[in-house]
Amino acid sequence: MNDEAVYAVLLHGERVGSLRFFDSWPDARSDTPEDVARWIDEHAVQTRSRLLGRFA
């Protein structure tokens, strides 16, 4: 898991083992870890920006 994924999990206050760590994830229960990883990678820049703004 890359740094952005870890930050994203922390940002959303959920456990790494849960696939429900994003409010915008459409139906996390039916998606694979690979789907989640791809979604995280696609949103990594946005997640990093949100973290930098929140903890600046």
CA R_g for the chain: 11
Q: 11 near 54, Cβ under 8 Å?
A: yes
Tell me which H or E stretch contains 14. none
Q: 28 near 22, Cβ under 8 Å?
A: yes
Stated pTM of the model: 0.34
Can you tell me the distance from the alpha carbon of 41 to that of 30, in angstroms, rounded to the nearest whole number?
A: 19
Residue 28 structural domain? 3-55
How many domains does one find in the chain?
1
Start-to-end CA distance of the chain, whole Å, equals 24
- Local confidence pLDDT in tens for the 56 residues of the chain: 566 666 666 565 544 444 444 555 555 556 677 777 777 777 776 666 766 676 65
